[in-house]
């Protein structure tokens, strides 16, 4: 039958993520640490996608006023809604989200294995 490869077990592939959300403000820093299948922080560059929602389940697409990269690389797929992120060599990327007044948004990170990891609530002040 041959050898099967499960993408989450491949060396250097993000299989999970820890997402840290800054305090309530008009703009909020969101930092993502990508991890391998063992839960160890990645120590290399990795590409993932992400999108903005108004619900933690990731089912209601939404927008922010803007998202500005703080570490890693960020490319807009659909402006203010979805993005491609490339981590630093430490497997980290961060973005500052600018809310549209007093509301709550979530950053959903889509890993190479198809898993979606939701941030905590990004609660924007007016």
pLDDT tens-digit series, residues 60-83:
999 999 999 999 999 999 988 999
User: Which residue is associated with the tokens 């959903």?
Assistant: 108
Query: What would the pLDDT profile of 5-46 be if each residue is shown by its tens digit?
Result: 555 466 678 999 999 999 999 999 999 999 999 999 999 999
Mapped to the 3 state alphabet, what secondary structure does 57-90 carry? CCCCECCCCEEEEEECEEEEEECCCEEEEECCCC
Tokens of 65: 């006023």
Domains of the chain in sequence order: 7-124 (2.60.40.10)
- What's the rounded mean pLDDT across residues 97-124? 94
Q: What is the pLDDT of residue 121?
A: 97
Q: What is the pLDDT of residue 79?
A: 85
- What's the rounded mean pLDDT across residues 53-59? 96
């Amino acid at each position: 039958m041959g050898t099967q490869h499960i993408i989450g077990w491949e060396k250097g592939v993000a299989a999970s993520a820890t997402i840290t959300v800054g305090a309530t403000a008009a703009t909020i820093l969101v930092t993502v640490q990508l991890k391998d299948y063992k839960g160890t922080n990645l120590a290399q560059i990795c590409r993932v996608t992400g999108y903005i929602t108004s619900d933690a389940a990731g089912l209601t697409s939404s927008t922010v006023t803007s998202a500005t990269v703080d570490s890693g690389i960020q490319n807009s797929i659909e402006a203010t809604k979805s993005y491609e992120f490339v981590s630093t060599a430490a497997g980290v990327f961060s973005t500052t989200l600018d809310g549209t007044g007093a509301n709550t948004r979530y950053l959903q990170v889509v890993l190479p294995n198809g898993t979606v990891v939701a941030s905590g609530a990004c609660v924007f002040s007016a």
